[in-house]
Chain A
């Protein structure tokens, strides 16, 4: 038997509210299937399963807020379990995460074996269809009887976009912890990106709008390729020291209008052709902004990239997202006087910064890593 538990969706998550089951007892599941929706500080997150088999019993009902690690369902496994690619476990956090605001009616406990609850026949039928335990539902009918509406409210809860106040708390906790625990060092590297811009313009001129690229896709690919030779910047720092990531899963910082930020993973970015990477990036940004990204996208980033886009400042000094060990900042390219041979000319200059964890790497390697990213951007046909 296997157990599906409330996943940790970031270093500072302590509990999540189960919003919806997308699979029911008896349903077969494959690795990577989305089985449930959980409400966190980052909004409604689709939770994937990392084992194949059949759902046996649902242990937690929609509406319940449970700590990370709580069994949510039992499974009949098809094959030996595959380890979920979650970051290393960290020592206890010092900063308590404020409890999310209550969004739903009374939290519903785990399935109970109580005597049959009072319920209308319609509520009973619907609860059975949805795999909900009537005894655990707070009824709004006479003498606390469960009505169909009570079951419906639990069975089809609204999905929400990110809650900006909760997200602010989550960012505060993660960044305070980073500044408290991680000995950051910083490096900056400026380079002429006229070659990358010219390459991009030529590509975009010969492709349909939906096949075009943004500079951000080049930044991500250049970083991912450079990490092949600099694995000490790709992974996590935990109680046992540095642990390299299982793949190159670049987190990409996405700002939300109105405030807030999330940096979910683009999985295996080093292996993606630029066109595919761009499609994934578009999809990810759209889903983050409307609230619907997946558990693995939150749990898996092995490094983070923050790009200011075209309306920012020339450089940024980003803060590492724990338990990662490095973060890259791409400033807004600016026209600057630039020496080419013995002549000074005006060129678009990009400044890349690296914030890295001194427990996992040193500045010498960091400088080489930044220079390697720059080399890829100076020869974009290699991306």
Chain B
């Protein structure tokens, strides 16, 4: 799974959690909580969605990596490579 695939997966997961937002239009470095008004329940749901889709366990302590698109992609690339 390459970077574009991962990006598409994260964007798609956020779209399902917060259908009223447009995550594809957000800068990759932007804090999703600020840019899309995501709250801790949304991030909680994002951890669940990505864990299930990729079949990996994302520890709670790693959730802060997911608050930007760039951070989420980099984190998932590392996890899938390791």
Interface residues, chain A, with chain B CB atoms under 8 Å away: 201, 204-205, 208-210, 212, 214-216, 255, 257-258, 281-282, 285, 289-290, 309-311
**B4 interface residue, CB < 8 Å from A?**
no
The answer to whether B37 touches A257 (Cβ under 8 A) is: yes
Can you list 28 residue pairs at the A/B interface with Cβ under 8 Å? A205-B61, A208-B51, A208-B57, A209-B44, A209-B48, A209-B52, A209-B57, A209-B58, A210-B48, A212-B47, A212-B60, A214-B40, A214-B41, A215-B40, A216-B41, A257-B18, A257-B20, A257-B21, A258-B20, A281-B41, A282-B41, A282-B44, A289-B18, A290-B19, A310-B39, A310-B40, A311-B34, A311-B39
Give a binary string over B19-59; 1 marks a CB under 8 Å from any A CB, 0 the rest: 11100000000000110110111001101100110000111
The answer to whether B40 touches A201 (Cβ under 8 A) is: no
Determine the distance from Cα of A282 to Cα of B61 in the docked complex, in whole angstroms: 20
Q: How far is the CB of A206 from chain B (nearest CB, A)?
A: 10
| Residues of B close to A255: CB separation below 8 A | 39
| Residues of B close to A214: CB separation below 8 A | 40-41, 44
Majority DSSP secondary structure for residues of A touching B? helix
Determine the distance from Cα of A209 to Cα of B48 in the docked complex, in whole angstroms: 5
Checking B21, B51, B52, B61 against A201 with a beta-carbon cut-off of 8 angstroms, the contacting residue is: B61
Which of chain B's residues has its CB closest to A255's CB?
B39
Determine the distance from Cα of A289 to Cα of B37 in the docked complex, in whole angstroms: 13
| Residues of B close to A215: CB separation below 8 A | 40
The answer to whether A311 touches B33 (Cβ under 8 A) is: yes
| Residues of B close to A257: CB separation below 8 A | 18, 20-21, 36-37
Determine the distance from Cα of A182 to Cα of B58 in the docked complex, in whole angstroms: 47
Q: How far is the CB of A226 from chain B (nearest CB, A)?
A: 23
| Residues of B close to A205: CB separation below 8 A | 59-61
Checking A210, A285, A290 against B41 with a beta-carbon cut-off of 8 angstroms, the contacting residue is: A285
Majority DSSP secondary structure for residues of B touching A? helix
Q: How far is the CB of B79 from chain A (nearest CB, A)?
A: 13
Determine the distance from Cα of A201 to Cα of B34 in the docked complex, in whole angstroms: 24
Q: How far is the CB of A154 from chain B (nearest CB, A)?
A: 27
Classify chain B's interface size: 20 to 34
The answer to whether A309 touches B40 (Cβ under 8 A) is: yes
Determine the distance from Cα of A258 to Cα of B22 in the docked complex, in whole angstroms: 13
Determine the distance from Cα of A309 to Cα of B21 in the docked complex, in whole angstroms: 19
Which of chain B's residues has its CB closest to A202's CB?
B60
Determine the distance from Cα of A212 to Cα of B58 in the docked complex, in whole angstroms: 11
| Residues of A close to B18: CB separation below 8 A | 257, 289
Determine the distance from Cα of A309 to Cα of B44 in the docked complex, in whole angstroms: 13
Q: How far is the CB of B61 from chain A (nearest CB, A)?
A: 7
With most chain B CB atoms within 10 A of its CB, the pick from A201, A216, A281, A311 is A311
Beyond the given A214-B41, A215-B40, could you list 9 further A-B residue pairs with CB under 8 A, ordered by the A residue number? Answer: A201-B61, A204-B60, A205-B59, A214-B44, A257-B21, A257-B37, A281-B41, A282-B45, A309-B39
Determine the distance from Cα of A282 to Cα of B60 in the docked complex, in whole angstroms: 17
Checking B36, B40, B41, B47 against A209 with a beta-carbon cut-off of 8 angstroms, the contacting residue is: B47
Determine the distance from Cα of A282 to Cα of B45 in the docked complex, in whole angstroms: 9
Q: How far is the CB of B49 from chain A (nearest CB, A)?
A: 9
Q: How far is the CB of A370 from chain B (nearest CB, A)?
A: 23
Determine the distance from Cα of A257 to Cα of B52 in the docked complex, in whole angstroms: 26
Q: How far is the CB of A290 from chain B (nearest CB, A)?
A: 7
Determine the distance from Cα of A366 to Cα of B77 in the docked complex, in whole angstroms: 51
With most chain B CB atoms within 10 A of its CB, the pick from A209, A257, A310 is A209
| Residues of A close to B36: CB separation below 8 A | 257
Knowing A209-B48, A257-B20, say if A201 contacts B39 (CB, 8 Å): no
Determine the distance from Cα of A25 to Cα of B33 in the docked complex, in whole angstroms: 48
Determine the distance from Cα of A201 to Cα of B63 in the docked complex, in whole angstroms: 12
With most chain A CB atoms within 10 A of its CB, the pick from B18, B21, B41 is B41
| Residues of B close to A281: CB separation below 8 A | 41
| Residues of A close to B51: CB separation below 8 A | 208-209
| Residues of B close to A258: CB separation below 8 A | 20
Q: How far is the CB of A164 from chain B (nearest CB, A)?
A: 10
